[in-house]
Amino acid sequence: MKKSYNIEIIRGLLFVFDIENADDEEREVIIASKDVNDDKELAELFDLVLRSEFFEYQQKGRETIVSTISYFLNQNDNFDRVFERMTTYFDDKVVDQTRFMKVLLGCLQRYQMEGG
């Protein structure tokens, strides 16, 4: 049976960066302080803000997120369906959404290897 992938899973994970998720002023300042178009700063942002969020998912959920991002990257998706419906605390627009997702995937895979 062929596995079905839903890009909304990615949107759900990234909700932590959405202005609709306005419950942590300190987190908002951290998000706005990082250059999301710089791989190093983006990875630092994920480490600071997203790592703990990722580990709130059960192991199967984390695996699903990683495989979903991998799937859409392999399909050469542009991730417009994720970013066009998000209003974020990022100071800049994400210039290369595919690169953003590649950095995200690398961080999530690293988190999985490091464990909770």
Query: Is residue 1 domain-resident?
Result: no
pTM (whole model) above 0.85: yes
Does residue 20 form part of some domain?
Answer: yes
Number of domains in the chain: 1
pLDDT band at 39 (very low <50, low <70, confident <90, very high): very high
Mean pLDDT (the chain) is 92
For 53, the domain range is 8-114
- Whether residue 73 lies inside any domain: the answer is yes
Structural contact between residues 72 and 101, judged by C-beta atoms closer than 8 angstroms? yes
User: So what's the pLDDT on residue 2?
Assistant: 64
**Mind listing the pLDDT tens digit for each residue in 42-95?**
999 999 999 999 999 999 999 999 999 999 999 999 999 999 988 888 888 999
- What does the DSSP 8-state code read for residue 50? I
Residue 3 counted as domain residue: no
pLDDT at 102 over 90: yes
pLDDT at site 1: 53
Residue 68: inside a domain: yes
